[in-house]
A and B are shown apart, each in its own frame.
Chain A
Amino acid sequence: MLKTEAVEKVAELARLKLSPNEAERFQKELGTILEFVEQLKALDVGSILPTTSISGVVNVAREDEMAAQVNWTSLSPRLRRVGAGAPEGREQLLKQAPERKGDFIKVKAILGEKIENRK
Chain B
Amino acid sequence: MAYVPGMRRPLQRDDAVVLRVQKLGESDRIITLLTRRHGRIRAVARGVRKMTSRYGARLEPFGHVDVQWALGSGLHTISQVEGLALLGKHFVEDYPRYTAACAIMETAERLTSEEDQPALRLFLLTLGALRALADGEHAGTLVLDAYLLRAMAHEGWAPALAECAVCATPGRHRAFSVAAGGCVCPNCRPPGAAHPHPLTIDLMIALLGGDWKTADAAEPAQRRECSGLVAAHLQWHMERALRSLPLVDRGERT
- On whether the two chains bind one another, the answer is no
On A, residues with C-beta under 8 Å from B are: none
Where the two chains meet, the residues of B that have a C-beta atom closer than 8 Å to any C-beta of A are none
